[in-house]
Amino acid sequence: MSAPLSPALRRIASQSRLFATLPPDLREPLLDSARVRQFGRGDPIFHQGDTALSLHIVADGWIKLYRIAPSGAEAVVGTMTRGQSFGEPIALRRAAYPVSAEASTEAQVIVLPAEALLSMLKARPEAAISVIASTFLHLQGLVEQIEQLKARSGTQRVAEFLLDLCPEGADEATVTLPYDKMLIAGRLGMKPESLSRAFARLREHGVRVRQNSATIDSVSALREMTLADPGDAWSR
């Protein structure tokens, strides 16, 4: 079931990677064609191999992107929460999704038909620069994710994950976590028990985790900790 976007949802969409660089005269008609869909925990949004016909922006809740290996094991390749978009490059090519997407919590997802964006690009070619910028940001995010896995300790990866959830400019924050801690562990390339140990270590740095939230006393101090050489003081 889907519905048109409310003013609040339009604001969330406007701040996403895809829409943030579009001028209002191009953005607003696209938002008119978008719809919001409700998903329950565990509901599929699309499956690996499906033809991509839409672009997605998370309005509320958590979405996981994952692949199923030939062995049957699940590999989490991304987690998305409010304001984050996914599927843009694939949808613009109308290619097959390389991953599956599933609601990890109850979620609202803004769905934009790829045809609407493609039609706009044909009518207004100058908008392509915004789409290229969006694709570049997506690529940059993947590179940063690889760097986190290769060059950061487990504790630093958890800290960076929490920092990504903090409001911009905040000096202290309380952020919402997925209910399923296994989702975070999978996203960060860790075992659940390693994630628990990392949360315990972060208490020394002003981070307190309670059920599905984390309170950070000093965002700047936590960010400084992530920049330290993991060989000096951190173990994986």
Give yes or no: residues 142 and 102 share one domain. Answer: yes
Looking at the 3D structure of the chain, how many domains does it have? Answer: 2
Give yes or no: residues 137 and 30 share one domain. Answer: yes
Of 189 and 57, the one with more pLDDT: 57
Query: From residue 7, how far is each of 12, 20, 38, 165, 229 by CA, in Å?
Result: 9, 16, 17, 23, 45
Residues 175-182 have a mean pLDDT of: 84
Residue with tokens 């270590």: 201
CATH code of the domain in which 216 resides: 1.10.10.10
pLDDT digits (tens, 9 = 90+) for 66-120: 998 888 888 888 888 889 888 888 888 889 999 999 999 999 999 999 999 899 8
pLDDT at residue 36 tops 90: yes
| 187 DSSP β-pair partners | none
Phi and psi at 111, nearest 5°, equal: -115, 125
Query: From residue 185, how far is each of 77, 102, 145, 226 by CA, in Å?
Result: 11, 16, 14, 17
- For residue 225, give its domain range: 153-233
pLDDT at residue 149 tops 90: no
Please give the share of the chain, as a percent, with pLDDT higher than 70: 88
Range with the lowest mean pLDDT among 13-17, 71-75, 169-173?
Answer: 71-75
